[in-house]
A and B are shown apart, each in its own frame.
Chain A
């Protein structure tokens, strides 16, 4: 049965490549997205964004004088489905592939595209290991998990804090972020006056706050989750201690303000990728207007917008390399594409294919408990 299916799939692939041969005046770009499954809303958003961008690019004359054709395959948000989707895309003569969302899903498709010599650009996969495997044609528009630590250290520097206290909660995410920030802050010569962990799930953190206060930091970086962050803010206010707090993207949750109370939450900074409506480049604003005009809604998340950036980068790569050869496109993206104006900000890639521009933004809680994007 399986063999029959494979044969059928191969025949289908053949049929498609025959039609592709006939229409050689188009450049095909693949999109691998979770159109079904639990991440379906992300996948649908990715598809809508890429299709709209392709439409706009074709109206401007396409790329290298040829029209762009988007070939979409569903990865179901599942590694096994993804490897099938990847195989289907490689047989359809795509010049490059955009996608996908989940890290493990992307991982399942990496080798397939690599063997086929097709450049791939992932949009939502943040796991560090994806770019540590030495794939020469793999890129991503998403930040890496350790990028947040870099951003934390940089933000603390920009806000002018000299003495930093770091508090985590011993989970692998929070401890990783704390270690990363600690190393970077020390390298920059910022004094880290406190580094310790609290026990998540407790109610009383005044002991920790008293100890923190004794270390007399200019700012406290808390890398854990929102329930503890809320309690810390609330009890800090009770102590009449006015030190600012900065948190990671695990505190980006509306319940934070509920737990802390509006008054205590006011002035709290946290790092997070921007919400689509907070994107501030002119390109992004125009694009969001067009998107709303066409689909009557906002993109589901920043990750879907990053798929759009992936598409634009690949188009720029094909145009820049003046070729649809995978190695030439990848070479151009690695060496020549610098500060490309992406929807989510400037895009450049390092030797590993990781994004060099900043994706994380700084948000601050205002007096009404709203999360407001900060310009630093």
Chain B
């Protein structure tokens, strides 16, 4: 039983990261019906920018751990958001009126471009975050070993997701995003600047992805220019699992995928972990083709 709960917490920490990245996929899909394949690479940029800023500005030395990481996170999120907006402007806006497939190809191209740029700048070797930045405390709750950082990862992810949910549901801008997701032409007729809404989506999604990248870098330490691919793949799966285009769906899908992976590995086989996760995905899609919380997507179309 103890091992079950330990694996559950392991899965939640991984799932929290998946969910944060999945939000970027799902928001873009909701508004543009486009799978932004470069999103995983924006996540990698978050990890690399975090490393560069951390080592060059020595933020944690100057401001202390909590303040330093907070400032670092804001800087990384801001920079990755700008990168996301540039990506939209350069790779997607010129193709807004083209067939959807052209935009998907453009997304794949952007992904390759971003990945290789990173390799040229930082080199193909593994980069490592400096040691001893994080407090290495481990909580021991009822015999469960919970490294403090894992708890923080889950908490921060959930906080960001809740914040995003409230932003979309309760604010005027959020309403505009939802309106553009339902029908862009009708939204335009209602006086909503759809281009600005799309730009905003490309600011918020990458910012969350960048934050996820920073957390992965800070906690796992080792980063590499191809790591966005595997995380992007998993997050994309999570978005579909929860119902793509649906924000609570991405959160549920991400956390669920993390937990399924952890429990599948724990009780069936580690080597078959990914296969188990994808089997569950297929089963869920057979029963609910729109994903777990995906009804509203069906309404939209």
Residues of A at the B interface (CB closer than 8 Å) are 170, 196-199, 201-204, 206-208, 210-211, 214, 227, 230-231, 234-235, 237-240, 255, 258-259, 261-263
Contacts and interface: CB of A to CB of B under 8 A. Distances in A.
B299 interface: no
Interface stretch (B108-116, B155-163, B222-230, B244-252): B222-230
Contact of A210 (B6, B125, B126, B269): B6
A234 B221 contact: yes
Chain B binding surface, main DSSP class:
helix
Interface in B139-187: 145, 147, 149-150
A202 B265 CA distance: 14
30 contacts: A170-B271, A196-B271, A197-B270, A198-B271, A201-B230, A203-B220, A203-B227, A203-B231, A204-B10, A204-B13, A204-B14, A206-B13, A207-B10, A207-B11, A207-B262, A207-B265, A207-B266, A208-B265, A210-B3, A210-B6, A210-B7, A211-B266, A211-B270, A230-B222, A231-B222, A237-B136, A238-B150, A258-B126, A261-B131, A263-B131
Contacts of B138: 238-240
A258 B271 contact: no
A210 B222 contact: no
B20 interface: no
B227 A211 contact: no
A196 B220 CA distance: 22
Interface in B224-246: 224, 226-227, 230-231
A202 B131 CA distance: 20
B270 A208 contact: yes
Interface string B203-224: 0000000000000100011101
B282 interface: no
B230 A258 contact: no
A238 B9 CA distance: 14
B237 to A, nearest CB: 14
Contacts of B261: 207
B270 A204 contact: no
A216 to B, nearest CB: 11
A127 B150 CA distance: 44
B270 A207 contact: yes
B163 to A, nearest CB: 24
Bin the interface of chain B by size: 35 or more
B128 interface: yes
Nearest to B266: A211
Given A201-B227, A207-B270, 9 more contacts: A199-B271, A201-B226, A201-B230, A202-B230, A204-B220, A206-B10, A210-B7, A238-B147, A259-B128
Most B Cβ at <10 Å: residue of A197, A211, A262 = A211
A197 B131 CA distance: 28
Closest CB pairs A-B (n = 10) = A197-B271, A203-B220, A261-B131, A238-B147, A196-B270, A206-B10, A207-B262, A259-B222, A258-B128, A207-B265
B207 to A, nearest CB: 21
Contacts, number: 85
Contact of B222 (A196, A227, A237, A239): A227
Contacts of B231: 203
A254 B47 CA distance: 22
Contacts of B131: 261-263
Nearest to A202: B230
A196 B216 CA distance: 25
Contacts of B10: 204, 206-207, 210
Nearest to A241: B145
Nearest to A204: B14
A258 B216 CA distance: 16
A240 B145 contact: yes
B273 interface: yes
A75 B215 CA distance: 51
A241 to B, nearest CB: 8
B283 to A, nearest CB: 21
A208 B263 CA distance: 10
A199 B220 contact: no
Nearest to B217: A203
A199 B231 CA distance: 13
Contacts of A198: 270-271
Given A197-B271, A201-B227, A204-B220, A255 B147 contact: no
A239 B136 CA distance: 10
A322 B200 CA distance: 87
Most A Cβ at <10 Å: residue of B7, B220, B230 = B220
A240 B221 CA distance: 18
Contacts of A261: 131-132, 221
B145 A239 contact: yes
B228 to A, nearest CB: 11
B270 A255 contact: no
A13 to B, nearest CB: 46
Nearest to A200: B230
A206 B220 CA distance: 11
Nearest to B138: A240
A227 B138 CA distance: 24
B126 A255 contact: yes
Contacts of B11: 207
A196 B3 CA distance: 18
A211 B226 contact: no
Given A210-B7, A214-B3, A259-B222, A196 B227 contact: no
Contacts of B269: 196
A297 B281 CA distance: 59
A80 B7 CA distance: 54
Contact of A203 (B128, B222, B271): B222
A238 B266 CA distance: 19
A211 B265 contact: yes
A199 B274 contact: yes
A165 to B, nearest CB: 11
Interface string B264-301: 01100111011000000000000000000000000000
A211 B271 CA distance: 13
B7 A207 contact: yes
